[in-house]
Amino acid sequence: MKRSRVPLVATVAMLVFFYLPIMVLVINSFNASRFGSTWEGWSLRWYLRLLHEREIWYALKNSLIIAFGASFVSVLIGTAAAFALHRYASRLQKTHYAMIFAPLVMPEILMGIGLLLFFVALGVNLGLFTIFLAHVTFCISYVAMVVLGRLQDFDFSIIEAAQDLGANWWTVTWRVLVPLLMPGIVAGGLLAFTLSIDDFVITFFVAGPGSTTLPIRIYSMIKHGSPPLINALSTILLVVTFTAVWFSQRLMEDAK
Amino acid sequence: MKNRRSVLEILVTLPSALWLAIFFLVPTVVVMAIAFKPTNPYGGVGTGWTVATWLSLGNPSYPAILWRTLWLSLLTTAASIVFAVPVGYYLARIRKRWRQFLLLLIIVPFWTSFLIRIFAWKVLLHPDGFIKKGLVFLHLAGDGASLLYNPWAVLLVMIYSYVPFAVLPIYAAAERFDFQLIEAARDLGAKQWQSFLKVFLPGIRRGLLTAVLMVFIPALGSYLIPDLVGGPDSEMIGNKIAQRVFVDRNLPHASALSSLLTLAVLLPMTVVLFLPGRRGRPDLMAGEGK
């Protein structure tokens, strides 16, 4: 029986479609030319120029503070949530699941405006702290989903065995459950970190004066800045993201 | 023991439930409420209640924008599904190692910055970019034609951004599909396309439905894509919401538009949530860790 070639062709086409724009951007970041249209030889000048852009460094600092804070808090909350969703099959968990799931599909702009109006209504000053709160909110769901995926092939008889051997729930949690779930937790944390450091839409709504993050800076550079610098900056961010993905996939695989 | 169980359940459920109630549910309600408030002269929200904002949505420019939002999202969804079905099929049929590698390549865009990916297209479609030059060289486009700042550029980048959301649920469904059914259909004399349309597609219908909603819902709320690669004739409802917030600081107006979008999104979202997958939950992340 002859198999159709369409699936293979479609898959190759999709990968070209996905990676062509990214490749062009990366290659252009090494282009000496100020305008991407002509090739004037390899150069690192745009990367060197980045070193002198004080505003980018300032924005990077803000982004890192938020990303570390938000991923830490969302890992704690998200892991607990995943555990609850997996362990219990009550009506409470059905509602809980809907709450965790909704932010994953909800258009970002709706979450952005909702949080903005919420903070305005409460009279909270917009700044790094409001961005942090917003990021934790959307990261919880992603962390919960990743950890839930890990829990799906988790053998709960290990816990029962530990309990039979006299371990109390504190010991079970910290000596058995958490170490075994660690790969999933770290993968969830990495996802939260990259989502936080890359987020633009929600951040844009809840940012205040002086709380420029890296994506907000990139956005204003796209609107009025110099493209080669954005190419260089984007390439660095892409490398960071690819490393994080690769690392988290390794974690998920090794755990098997 | 029973009692102990429920205390633990509350203990692990409470942090996320409380956080999301405060920072997700309450804000959604606040948006709906502010849509019924008047503005005040300082760009804030006034006191009292009014339906004036809702009436002003009758402004003739809105129906056109709502209509454009709808057709761009529908076309994006249709194109993503057509593109994703053969890819999902292919991924489900290949060897495990190779499949893991390809899945990784498809998941990576999920992780990379949305902003950077849109910017990459802006560069690619730029009047000095090589696609434009190629098209002019082949006499497929005039010198003055612009590939950017029109609804087609928005559509292209929307498909680019949302197609991974279609691939994963379709692949997850295809992976559990019993391919012997196709062979059986072929043995019984079905043509290749018949076995595809009448056996494979119905077999993965749940994945298809999830994929449709996973693309359609976020597509309705697109804001950054039309903002960066679209022009004045490609604005979507998301752009109007952002303009009301950042340009003329009319928060009640922005709220009314957002409420409208929330309602449009809520209906399909309820469908996904009550569409049972394994363990009564939608299969979204099924592609991961397999």
Domain with residues A49-255, CATH architecture: Orthogonal Bundle (1.10)
pLDDT (0 to 100) of residue B17: 95
pLDDT (0 to 100) of residue B281: 58
pLDDT (0 to 100) of residue B1: 47
Between A189 and B55, the more confident residue is A189
Below-50 pLDDT ranges, chain B: 1, 285-290
> What pLDDT, in 10s, does the model give residues B227-270?
999 988 899 999 999 999 998 888 998 999 999 999 988 888 88
> What percent of chain A is modeled with pLDDT above 70?
97
**Nearest CB partner across the interface for A149, out of B186, B217, B289:** B289
Residue A11 contacts B, CB cutoff 8 Å? yes
Contact status, residue B123 vs residue A29, Cβ threshold 8 Å: no
**Domain boundaries of chain A, sorted by first residue:** 49-255
Letter for the amino acid at B207? G
Contact status, residue B75 vs residue B216, Cβ threshold 8 Å: no
> What percent of chain A is modeled with pLDDT above 90?
41
Contact status, residue A131 vs residue B245, Cβ threshold 8 Å: no
pLDDT (0 to 100) of residue A130: 96
Residues of chain A numbered 51-70 and touching chain B (CB < 8 Å): none
pLDDT (0 to 100) of residue B148: 83
**Residue A116 token pair:** 């903005």
Q: In angstroms, what separates the C-alpha of A89 from chain B's closest C-alpha?
A: 9
Across the interface, do A215 and B129 touch by the CB < 8 Å criterion? no
pLDDT (0 to 100) of residue A115: 96
Coil/strand/helix, residue A88: coil
Across the interface, do B17 and A96 touch by the CB < 8 Å criterion? yes
CA-CA distance, B55 to B258, in Å (whole number)?
15
Chain A residues in contact with B15 (beta carbon < 8 A):
76-77, 80-81
Radius of gyration of chain B (CA): 23
Letter for the amino acid at B162? Y
CA-CA distance, B112 to B116, in Å (whole number)?
8
* Mean pLDDT to the nearest integer, A59-87: 94
CA-CA distance, B148 to B228, in Å (whole number)?
9
Across the interface, do A133 and B217 touch by the CB < 8 Å criterion? no
pLDDT (0 to 100) of residue B277: 56
Chain B residues in contact with A88 (beta carbon < 8 A):
9, 13
**Nearest CB partner across the interface for B15, out of A80, A117, A237:** A80
CB atoms within 10 A of CB A183: 20
Domains and CATH numbers, chain B: 59-248 (1.10.3720.10)
* Mean pLDDT to the nearest integer, A129-137: 97
- Cα–Cα nearest to B34, from B22, B20, B48, B23: B48
Across the interface, do A118 and B23 touch by the CB < 8 Å criterion? yes
Task: Give, in order, the Cα–Cα distances in Å from A31 to each of A227, B154, B200.
Answer: 11, 27, 47
Chain B residues in contact with A114 (beta carbon < 8 A):
24, 27-28, 30-31, 258
Between B171 and A4, the more confident residue is B171
Contact status, residue A203 vs residue A134, Cβ threshold 8 Å: yes
Residue showing tokens 């056109």: B64
Question: The whole model's pTM is what?
Answer: 0.89
Residue A72 contacts B, CB cutoff 8 Å? no
CA-CA distance, A207 to B212, in Å (whole number)?
33
Between A49 and A118, the more confident residue is A118
Query: Buried b / exposed e across B75-86, counting CB within 10 Å, b at 16+?
Result: bbbebbbebbbb
Contact status, residue A104 vs residue A230, Cβ threshold 8 Å: no
What is the chain B residue with the closest CA to A141? B16
Q: Which residues does B97 contact at the CB level (< 8 Å), separation at least 6? A: none
Across the interface, do A14 and B17 touch by the CB < 8 Å criterion? no
Across the interface, do A105 and B272 touch by the CB < 8 Å criterion? yes
**Nearest CB partner across the interface for B245, out of A93, A110, A116:** A116
- Cα–Cα nearest to B14, from A159, A185, A140, A145: A140
pLDDT (0 to 100) of residue B286: 40
For residue A72, name the pLDDT band (cuts at 50, 70, 90). very high
* Mean pLDDT to the nearest integer, A108-117: 95
**Nearest CB partner across the interface for B87, out of A11, A77, A80:** A11
pLDDT (0 to 100) of residue A135: 97
